[in-house]
Amino acid sequence: MIRLIVGLGNPGKEYERTRHNAGFWLVERFAQASGMTLRKDPKFKALVGKHANGAWFLLPQSFMNLSGQPVQMLAGFFKIKPEEVLVVHDELDFPPGTVRLKQGGGIAGHNGLKDISQRLATHEYWRLRLGVGKPPAGTEGADYVLQKPSAEDRAAIDAAIDKSLAVMPQILAGDVQAAMNKLHTEEPKKAEPEKKAEPAKKTEEPKKEIPAEKPGLLKSLFGKK
């Protein structure tokens, strides 16, 4: 059962619309839709809210690379196990609009996950990964996630958040496998490229038959030698 949901991001106006704050976006939208209040709690260095079913929601205010400290403190205080924690974060390996749910695995250079894994001494917490796309050639990933997505990409990320919010009741009820199946089977299929029509083959014209010479024709024309 999931007892703690953590949205990752950076505090402050200058970061609130950047790709790295995708985890914040999801938790903030869930709080708004469910009527849950997120209050600043200095003890946990985070914005904290409690859902009607008893699950805690957390937005660390310690900046991304120190996200693990608020998670460790709240999880320790309420005796929440790592496998009962779900972390929502931006994912460079997926295009905008893609969302994936899994437990454990690597951290792929994500500073927020790195700190959480170190603080909890395990990778075995759950992750909800919101695709934000790969950086273009010549742009570092660390710079890319601190930029605002295009209007088109933001719309795709918001659509992925919509899909995630639709399965949140299942996640909170402890049926994470059902939520995972629903998220992963509803990914939009890429349209197959249209096949180019093959050029029509040229039909060979039938060869004209040359009539055979009539016997004695040359002789009649040129006479005998």
DSSP 106: -
Which residue in 20, 51, 89, 110 is the catalytic one?
20
CATH 3.40.50.1470 fits 4-185, yes or no: yes
Residue-wise DSSP of 58-104: EEE-S-GGGTHHHHHHHHHHTT--GGGEEEEEEETTS-TT-EEEEES
What are the residue boundaries of the structural domains of the chain, listed by start? 4-185
Q: Examine the residue annotation and report whether 20 is marked as an active-site residue of this protein.
A: yes
How many Å is the Cα radius of gyration of the chain? 32
d(CA 139, CA 180): 32
pLDDT tens across 101-136, in order? Answer: 999 998 888 999 999 999 999 999 999 999 999 999
Using 50 as the pLDDT threshold, list the residues of the chain that sit under it: 188-193, 210, 213-214, 217-225
pLDDT tens across 158-173, in order? Answer: 999 999 999 999 999 9
